[in-house]
Amino acid sequence: MKKGVLLFFFVLLFSGLTAQAQGPKVVHPVKWKSKIEKKSADQYLLTMDAVIEDGWHVYSQFTDENGSLPMIVEFINKKGNFEAIGKTSETKPEQKYSDIFGVTESFWHHKFQLKQLVKVTNPGLDLVQVKIDYQVCQESCIQEISNFEFNVKTLTSKEVVKFSSVTTSAAAVLDETAVSVSDTAKTDAVDKVQAGGNTDTAVNNTEAPKENKEEPKDPWTIFLGTLLAGILVTFTPCVFPMIPMTVSFFLKQNSSKSKGRFNAVFYGICIVAIYILLSVPFHIFEGISENVFADISTNVYLNLFFFAIFVTFAISFFGAFEITMPNSLASKADNASNSGGLIGVFFMALTLIIVSFSCTGPALGLVFGTVLSSEGGAILLTVGLTGFGLGLAMPFMVFALFPNLMGNLPKSGGWLNTVKVVFGFIELALAFKFLSNADLVEQWHILEREVFIAIWIGIFLTLTFYLFGKFSTPHDSPVPFISVGRMLLGVLSLCFTIYLIPGLWGAPLKVISGFPPPLNYSESPFGFGGSGGTGAADGKVELPANAEYIVHGIVAFHDYDKGLAYAKSVNKPILIDFTGHACVNCRKMEEYVWSDPAVLSILKNDVVLISLYCDSRKKLPENEVFTSKSGREITTVGEKWSDFEVERYASNARPYYVLVNPADEAKLNEPVAYTPDVEEYKTWLTSGIANFKK
């Protein structure tokens, strides 16, 4: 008996070691459960519930298409059989701005649900077939396809393609034969998660991977930023002169100073309350449509509208014209302020907001534009407007409580208009972010990275000349000398302008990451001048047939067979780069690891790079469509290379790097996935090349 137990544990240990020795295998981090409900004589509700393993996230149908690839829900046998009523609804996703792609992305952690109402038009129909094509990411990304069949006769459903492997950690994935999950176990896992259970034990009992958490947007960052914006707009010609006048009015109007101070503080509270009320409609909009803010961030027309508004406000700040509220509205508010009491104080606050709109409007537009086009939602908009209102109201309240401080206020003068003009330049620069969003969504390629950076260089260089007194705007006072503060601000603007210039040659410009278009959205992979700022000694090389230049001027093939033939002809090892157009960590590797001079020299001179885009949705020619060993029909270029990666290297990760010998296509060392450490990646490259030379 004891020998049998020892033998059992020996076999179990050997199986585990064997599984680990075999290296990374295919992972399927999403487990599905589906059901069908009859709603009427010919209408059925299809529900698909998904559980995502810890550390992974799945992208929504409505995520920005210029970032990670959106989920696609496709009805295979729809024609002549049934109609899909409306769009497929989904659980509200999380949202986060991607610095790599420059867009807001929508995704889920842990679990999500899809629902679709269909109307059957063919009485003889048995099955409704649904295909879900989606991207699931951790440190690597995987393009997954799940197929479902819903039987309208028996009201049963099933996932057509079943998988048996599960992942146990981010670094090592068990062999498909080492651990398996039955259909019942998958169902139990989904049920447990939906009931609020622990997914770590629901999906498997092994150690869960560490989650590569995406930082949520911090409300305090929004609050402090808008608070500062509110304080800054008080130093404009429309607001600053009102501070001593308003405070003096409250303190002198009442015989009791304490009552005057109370009214002044209440005046400030009313300013904050009015700005908060501006956010209320957006809470209603969000209640009607959960994706309203995501729609705003990606809507071409709204981004163009914000661009036009920001440019208009900027021109107004430069002194071309004044943007004001209707005089009748200001007069009514001013008349109401004479009613006295707290109601009168409220209307005084409203009057200030109306009459100062020509100065506060552009800053307020900035708050609306940046928050509405981000992942914050109505809550963050309320936070932003609260900060802005408090910043605007704070000087009135502080000087009412401490009137002696007013003696330290600088006198009104021409410097107020200078502040306004500086705001105009900043407003103009930010306007192009919205134009860039529209350009990226529509892929017009009008405002590519170099053009965007060139525009910013022009704006901030002009601002530098203005601050140094080289020209003036219509409402500027004569400047006999440059003040110290203005000179220092001019130096800061000049330094920022110089910092932007290398961006024309492909520098990442991390300080403004997320504002310009991504590095891959440019006129040339080399930037102006042809070298892309790569630092490689050899510069460009002659382009082989069927190859093209990619990031940093690296030569790459996008077809395995053509790249293999070229590698054989030049007798160089092959670096297969399983990548994706919408793979965040692929871009990080290209920007931060491949740009290293030593790594770049290897990629340009010592290997033949074959970059295979596993998320490409370009259709294969009819004669190239095939069925994979798993029974899946391969119809796109991305599916072809993804299947190639699975069949050849038993992996579906992205990025995934394999060094092979072109003579026999054997691996030169163990493949690696996302490797952000430059030295580690360089060591991996050099070890594989050394093995090739042996």
CATH of span 547-693: 3.40.30.10
The answer, as to whether pTM is greater than 0.75, is no
**Quick check: 14 pLDDT over 60?**
no
Report helix, strand or coil for 169. Answer: coil
Question: Per the CATH hierarchy, to which homologous superfamily does domain 30-203 belong?
Answer: Thiol:disulfide interchange protein DsbD, N-terminal domain (2.60.40.1250)
Q: Does residue 123 have a cis peptide bond before it, meaning omega lies within 30 degrees of 0?
A: no
pLDDT at 533: 42
**Quick check: 336 pLDDT over 70?**
no
State pLDDT tens for residues 37-77: 988 888 999 999 999 988 889 999 888 777 778 898 988 88
| pLDDT mean over 9-27 | 43
pLDDT at 63: 85
**Quick check: 375 pLDDT over 70?**
no
| pLDDT mean over 301-325 | 83
What is the Rg, in whole angstroms, of the alpha carbon atoms belonging to the chain?
Answer: 31
Categorize the per-residue pLDDT at 114 as very low, low, confident or very high, splitting at 50, 70 and 90. very high
Task: Please tell me which residue, 448 or 26, carries the higher pLDDT value.
Answer: 448
Instruction: Quote the CA–CA distance of 629 and 619 in Å, as a whole number.
Output: 20
Instruction: Quote the CA–CA distance of 236 and 256 in Å, as a whole number.
Output: 31
Query: Three-state secondary structure along 444-477?
Result: CCCCCHHHHHHHHHHHHHHHHHHHCCCCCCCCCC
Instruction: Quote the CA–CA distance of 28 and 618 in Å, as a whole number.
Output: 23
pLDDT at 164: 33
pLDDT at 26: 62
| pLDDT mean over 390-403 | 87
State pLDDT tens for residues 586-637: 878 887 899 889 999 999 999 999 999 887 778 899 898 888 887 778 888 8
pLDDT at 79: 85
> pLDDT averaged over the chain?
78
pLDDT at 458: 96
Closest CA to 372 of 362, 382, 363: 382
280: number of Cβ within 10 Å: 12
Q: 182-186, 374-378, 665-669: which range is least confident on average?
A: 182-186
What is the distance in angstroms between the CA of the first residue and the CA of the last residue of the chain? 51
Q: Alpha carbon of 393 to those of 18, 226, 248, 527: distances in Å? A: 68, 13, 15, 47
CB 573 within 8 A of CB 660: yes
Instruction: Quote the CA–CA distance of 25 and 171 in Å, as a whole number.
Output: 11
Task: Please tell me which residue, 272 or 540, carries the higher pLDDT value.
Answer: 272
Instruction: Quote the CA–CA distance of 294 and 371 in Å, as a whole number.
Output: 11
pLDDT at 145: 83
Closest CA to 348 of 238, 272, 271: 271
CB 70 within 8 A of CB 60: yes
Residue 503: CB partners within 8 Å, gap ≥ 6?
449, 450, 453, 509, 516
